Amino acid sequence: MSFLRSCGSWAVQRATVNKLPMNLRGERRLSLPTTDATELRVFRRMCIACGRNHNSMSVLPKRYFSSSQSHMISTRKPYLIVVKEKESPKEDGAMAQLKQVLDVRLEQLLEESLKHGEPGRFYRYPKPLRTVNRPSRQKGHQPHSKRKPGFLEPKNQTDNKSSSHASTQPKRKFKAKELSLKSVQSSNVAQMQKEDVASLPEGGMPKERIAPVKDRTLSSSEVGGMEINKSRLKSYRTRGETEHSRMILKSQKVDQSEKVDPDIKDDKLVIARTDPKTPEKPDKKHMYHIMRDKSIYLEPLIEVCMFKNMTKRALSEFNSLKSKMPIDVGIYNMMLKGLAQKGALGNIRTLFDSMAASGINPDAQSYAAVLQCIGRMKFRHLQTITKCLSDMALHDITIDDLFLKTTFSNDDRSVMLEVIQGVNPDYIPPRPLPRPHATCGLVQDLYQDEAELSDGQNDESAVGHGSLGCSGLLTKEEFQDKFKEQLDLEIKEAAVIKSIEEDGNPDKNTLQKREILQQHKKVWKMSLVQAIKEEREAFKRKGRGISGPDQRSYAGMLYPFLNILKPEEFADLMLQAVADTLACSTEGLGSYSLSHELGNRVHRKLIIRSKLQKGFAEKLEQMYDAFADYHLSEEMMQRYKPREYWQQLEDELLDGPSLNHETKPWKTLTNASLGIVLVKMIARELRLDTAIMNPQAERKLIPAFYNVYIFKGTKNVNYIKPHPTLVDLIEGAKEPDMTFDTTVLPMLVPPLPWNSCKYGGYLLTETRIARCPEGSQQDQELSDPSRLKDWYPVMDSLNQLSAVPWRVNKPILDVIISVFKNNGSKELNIPQPASVLPQPPSITSETSKADAAHVYRERSLYQKLRGEMHSLRMTDLYKLSIANKYRDEIFWFPYNLDFRGRVYPCPPHFNHLGNDVTRSILVFAKGRPLGDKGLDWLKIHLINLTGFLKKSSNQDRLKYAEEKMPLILDSADNPLEGQKWWQGADKQWQSLACCMEIANAMRSDNPAEFISYFPIHQDGSCNGLQHYAALGRDKIGAEQVNLHPFDVPQDVYIGVADLVEQQRAQDAEDGLEIAQLLEGKVERKVVKQTVMTIVYGVTVYGAKLQILKQLREKEGLDRFQKSLASKYLANAVFNSLLKMFTKTREIQSWLTDSAYYIAKAGHCVDWVTPLGFPVAQPYFKQRYGKYDDVGRSNVQIDTLKQKNGFAPNFIHSLDSTHMMLTSLYCQQAGITYVSVHDCFWTHASTVDEMNQICREQFVKLHGQPVLQNLSSFLDNKYGDITISKSVKKKPQNAEIQTIGDIVKQVPKPGEFDLTNVLQSTYFFS
């Protein structure tokens, strides 16, 4: 019974069987723990082949298939193998010989399967062993009349006469299982053939069926021209490691005499799934969600199919799903537009019949597709056109609607017009409807008709600043050349930038690692290209088959997505993603995050190529040529907003495609479904040679990336991590060229103005105006075209910021690069390479257990620091390399918003929101003369950057700058070798840049006429508390944050520290020990972070941790005392703030309570900013394994985050509104303006004007009933909702019954006069 060892993964050793007790019938019953009928069927076939089933063995149950012979019966009961022992259990020589024959026969079965099927696979319907070479059946013969075609089998396989081998192919296949084969030496086989075959029992296997099985690599004829590389199988043999058990298949032919790798000496050879054409089985949960809601995939599938000319597949999937899910007219229009391009009028008729049967009314876009289809047909039937127009009238659709309410691609508009004019020659299409104006009351004076503009806005005095637009920077020809260069970059979708570390003379070790890395990349690309081709073919075959719904839907739906790009482009995309996200650090990335990122990258490429296919590039070039005139004229920029001018161009240039054609984002699950296929290829195909770092080591191929599971809270999350050898290789190679997506780089021309929430920013690359979750409440509101006019002020503010040109401050950049190349500097905040870290101690045989534990902790800390230093170093390498690339260019930043309405540049690495280093590199591209006060503002700004005189007046700061002028000039002339005064500043690099600007101005012939490009910052004084004090009219709080005018700036941090010290002194006097220990230790920096974050909802516990961090540097307190002191001071800070900002605490409590009850009712907290921007907090709890109708994890409201986030997010939305108002009115005044949230930038000569606008807009904003408007909004939306009795209530809220009861309790304002802000010098300074 040794053959039991060869029964598959569930095989049991013979010894186990022999130990079973024998019953009265002479039987031993063995229960196998399996429910897989296929494995047992293969087992039984092998027993039948050896003639042992009828008298010594039976496998129960004997019937495995239903009457239709098409599907296996699923059973949950274990199978029984009954071994009948009619002889003595003791084995004799004949039994031993029989065991060897059975073992050889099992390997012979594998040989047969390899010859007639696919390598390493058995079949669901194995061929009878005695009829392998039976003749082909006659056409039409059906041995099983009820059997359905197989999963990979065409419906009429027997009709295929082109292949004589077709009839011998298996009808169905089962999923490959790992089979452990006993290694049989060829000498033993020969001995068996000579001596043992003759003694086979009657009914046994014929002699001619036995052939020697050599220990060799399978020949090309056996594996379809592919060699099985067994070196890849050496270390991966368990069922749990299926990711790495797949064999490498080499394309070259091999000689049959070639031997197995001599390193493989194991007695088992794992034959895993070797068919690369079979796609990886998706996760069961993921597959369930694919099948549960196919609508997630339908729209992207139609989009891809129409792009790749797969019209029949799109129709097939559409027809299969339209009766199973609700389909709106938008999806029908996607199909109609694609069919119209092909002139498929018959299919369009069918779709219209389907719409009528489903009760869906066609819209103008539907009928436009019909007329465009007719226009592309060779023969145009007048009757069909007339019928179409009459049907339109029945649905109240006019011909004008076809031009006013539809979007076009390529020449759709002209084709449709030609068809209509063929029926009505006198028809003239209408002009576009007038654009609506903004309705926000805060900015009504900015949105007047052109005829109402005052003459003063157009004269030279209004325009005279000369700081708007590109006039004087570029000529029209240069502008056109830069546009073409930017367009080419976006078409290529990537740019190669030279690393600043590359000096042209790399050392020998670096060159060696570069060569090794390039060799690996070359092999990786070849492997990925081959894998993509095979995966694509496998999905194609499985998508055609008739099988289980899970498999067919997964393969059929994803096959078109694998055709979006060429295999080589897919390989490049995956390798680039690996370089960007995985290989930079040993930390790795979550597999779902990586899958989503890969899917996003593929979708971005699809969008760009789809736009090119529709003729966007030609139309865009035509419009941008006219748009260049706008940017080259300062008068036009001040007269019109960029959005208004662009909309005028759209109304004038009507021919060609519609540029505002909406591209719907793919659902999260769609991106992840495509990405997971690519991620598995990366993990499977990318291999490393273990000997790359040590030539003396044994050469093995190991995975370059591996899967680990990390607990995140209560969840076990899968991470993809690079092998440390790969990270070391990349770090050591220091590749000279880095590839960046165009979405992370500045633009060479002004960005497209936002004129809808889906169109703006980059020329071709899709950009969204708000960074909110796809399909969320906020995203749906922003997609409502009827409310577009409400968001015009927000769009115009973004367009104003995007229109500001920038350039690189080359002297500062050169100094920073020199420090960076010289191993960085910790003192100057330039990251150092990880190589500067001292090596940790090693563990030797003499190390004690206690010392070993200490060494282990040190080595762990070393690895952590090394990863952090490398990450910081790479971050600065990116931004400095990009800055060096653009050092001679003029460039622009496109902007968009986060969900709160705060503004951010789209390029993430290099922008003015970066750290001190990045900000010092950037200056305005267009300069202005300093004028009378410009030099003074430069000096004041320098002292502000140093942080030396925070409590002094501007006059004192100016005087101090004059005193330090020699040191300022020395810093400018000798930044790294002089007295280094600038290195003591808070913001060192910005201070150095300011020193250089002052030196240049001072040494000019006339400083007032010196052209300055340097931005001057005016920063809000604890801006969050400023908004709270203004909302509550809190008099004491307003004075502390400089809303009230004073001769010197007030420091709220010092004010809080003074109150805390007063309370501490009183407690110490009363005998409190911890208060006595804190004498002399209550300082400004101890309380500063807590005061800053009190606006953002910090708790007492969070404040304790912040203060404890500051107390760690204090001496005289032990660890326990510091913990007690931090808790004491946290409470003291909260009490002090309550005294200073009484109304602030009331407003925070009201906001928090309102959010709590709204969230408890199952709703997100949302509101509308004073400028009309809708905000919704996207805080949810994910429920594992659940997905909603938009493909996101099915979620429930996160009450805690909704409650704690409302107050800070509401204040952030207000400071963003103030910034936008300031930007709009600065543009009207002709002032260059940019911002970093609550820090406003402008030229030195226009600081006073910007300051005045800033204060006026703050007073205008808070002059509105902001809290009352918020209360009305929340009451209208949630006021009638009854609060559940299970919801915990505060004692003061015990009587409330509905949400309306709490949201109406608006705190009463104080007595502060808000107009005092207009005279406050240090409100923003």
1139, containing H or E segment: helix 1119-1140
- For 1196: left if phi > 0, alpha if psi spans -120 to 50, otherwise beta; the answer is beta
Joined together, the tokens standing for residue 988 give 């060192």
81, containing H or E segment: strand 79-84
How big is the chain, counted in residues?
1325
Report the distance separating Cα 425 and Cα 430, nearest Å: 15
**How far is residue 408 from each of residues 102, 338, 365, 613, measured CA to CA in Å?**
71, 12, 9, 12
Report the distance separating Cα 923 and Cα 921, nearest Å: 7
Phi/psi for 701 (5° steps) reads -100, 120
Catalytic residues: 1019, 1088, 1238
Residue 628: CB atoms within 10 A of its CB come to 22
User: Counting beta carbons within 10 angstroms of the beta carbon of residue 958, is it exposed (0 to 12), middle (13 to 18) or buried (19 or more)?
Assistant: middle
Report the distance separating Cα 844 and Cα 862, nearest Å: 18
CB-based contact 375:417 (threshold 8 Å): no
CB-based contact 1207:1214 (threshold 8 Å): no
Joined together, the tokens standing for residue 702 give 């190991």
Residue 1196: CB atoms within 10 A of its CB come to 12
**What stretches of 439-548 show up as alpha helix (H) in DSSP?**
460-463, 476-492, 508-544
Tell me the Cα Rg of the chain.
Answer: 38
**CA nearest 453: which of 1298, 1228, 984, 1248?**
1228
Segments of 1159-1294 assigned E as strands:
1166-1168, 1174-1176, 1180-1187, 1193-1197, 1234-1236, 1239-1242
Report the distance separating Cα 282 and Cα 182, nearest Å: 32
969, containing H or E segment: helix 965-973
Q: Are strands 1166-1168 and 1174-1176 parallel, antiparallel or unpaired?
A: antiparallel
The set of residues, in sequence order, having a beta carbon less than 8 Å from that of 109 and lying 6+ positions away, is 45, 46, 49, 129
Q: Please name the residue that has the structure tokens 């505060």.
A: 1290
Range 1038-1045, long-range pairs (CB < 8 A, 24+ positions): 1038/1312, 1038/1316, 1040/1140, 1040/1141, 1042/1320, 1042/1322, 1042/1323, 1042/1325, 1043/1312, 1043/1314, 1043/1316, 1043/1317, 1043/1320, 1043/1323, 1044/1312, 1044/1316, 1044/1320, 1045/1316, 1045/1319, 1045/1320, 1045/1321
Q: Which amino acid is at 512?
A: Q
**Helix, strand, coil percentages for the chain (3-state, nearest 5):** 50, 10, 40
Joined together, the tokens standing for residue 835 give 């190589």
**CA nearest 266: which of 188, 192, 186, 181?**
181
**CA nearest 371: which of 356, 385, 392?**
385
CB-based contact 314:308 (threshold 8 Å): no
610, containing H or E segment: helix 591-613
46, containing H or E segment: helix 37-49
**CA nearest 1037: which of 1146, 1131, 942, 962?**
1146
Report the distance separating Cα 891 and Cα 1032, nearest Å: 42
